[in-house]
Structure 1
Amino acid sequence: MERLTLMDNEDCYNQLQMGKDAFTRLVNILREIGRLRNSAHSNVEEQIAKFLHIVSHNLRNRTMKFYFKHSSETISHHFHQVLRAIISLNDIFLKQPDKLKCPQEIKNNTKFWSYFKIDGSHFRVHVSNDVAQRYRGRK
């Protein structure tokens, strides 16, 4: 298995929309928390690079198949594996608001406060994929 190498920070940013140091930190985080592992034909760096390249350039599997010389199924599998791993970082990197306190930025802004003035609570909501579309762009 050949190892993915990014020539310099500029190449890394141009291809992945992420600097080399940030890419390395992301790889280490996803590897350390056990969400991604090397596979028989692709290491963690390559899997994440595929994902970032697809997302940052809006590419299709058949394009990635050409560049990485893997089947469409493998590209898709790696993409979804990395996507699930990144979503799992939600609880680590996103701090949910304290339910007892409403931030001053919301309280002092009439545009937002009308939605929260009942009791100042924030609620974390996960809507299933089959009904998510009808809630997009709604208050």
Structure 2
Amino acid sequence: MRRAPFSALVKTFRARGMLADSIHTSVEEQVAIFFHVVGHNQRFRVIHSTFRRSTETISRYFQQVFYAIGELGGEMIKPPSTNTPPKILYFRVPRSMYAAFRGKKHYTSQNMLATVDFVMRFTYVLAGFEGSAHDASILADNFSRPNGLQIPEGKFYLGD
């Protein structure tokens, strides 16, 4: 996390009275402890040597910051949109092919490969694979096509 968002988060915690400096630990250090544990998947035993605090202290501050972030969840964490972007087309499976496209949850599904920018513009879509098709086989099929996946310049999501 960069300094500006980190500072803004700490300022919000202080302004709303969610976290306060203690005798030995500032709010900045408390938040840093939390992000260090979460961001690096570290155990409290490892963090205690980095910050020179007991594991009990690390645990206490981790829990306090965790609850404070949970309080901000409603304003900062947006639930996924239920609206389907207009550029996504629904690819219907013909009834004669239902058996091939039936997934492990017993309904038809499809796998697709797409490049999407941060404004949710689809630049490339390859669909029509059975829902149980392995990602590697879809990618291999894509690369075998003459005009396969071409990722344009810029920032894109990489997801599954």
TM range (shorter): 0.5 to 0.7
Q: Identify unmatched segments of 5+ residues in structure 1.
A: 1-17, 112-139
Instruction: Say how many residue pairs are matched.
Output: 92
1:44 to 27, 39, 44: 27
Distance in 1 separating the partners of 2:24 and 2:72: 25
1:103 match: 83
1:134 match: none
Query: 1:81 corresponds to which letter in structure 2?
Result: Q
1:81/1:109 Cα in 2 relative to 1: closer, same or farther (>3 Å)? farther
Q: Relative contact order (C-alpha < 8 Å, sep 6+): which is higher?
A: 1
- Structure with more strand by fraction: 2
Query: 2:42 corresponds to which letter in structure 1?
Result: L
Distance in 2 separating the partners of 1:104 and 1:71: 49
Shift of 1:39: 1.0
Q: Identify unmatched segments of 5+ residues in structure 2.
A: 92-160
User: 1:13-60 deviations in whole A, cap 9, x for unaligned?
Assistant: xxxxx0011111111111111110011210100000010111111111
Query: 2:83 corresponds to which letter in structure 1?
Result: P
1:131 match: none
2:14 match: 31
Query: 1:88 corresponds to which letter in structure 2?
Result: E
User: 1:93-128 deviations in whole A, cap 9, x for unaligned?
Assistant: 24569xxxx63549x7659xxxxxxxxxxxxxxxxx
TM-score normalised per structure 2:
0.50
2:41 to 39, 48, 58: 58
TM-score normalised per structure 1:
0.56
Distance in 1 separating the partners of 2:66 and 2:57: 14
Query: 2:69 corresponds to which letter in structure 1?
Result: I
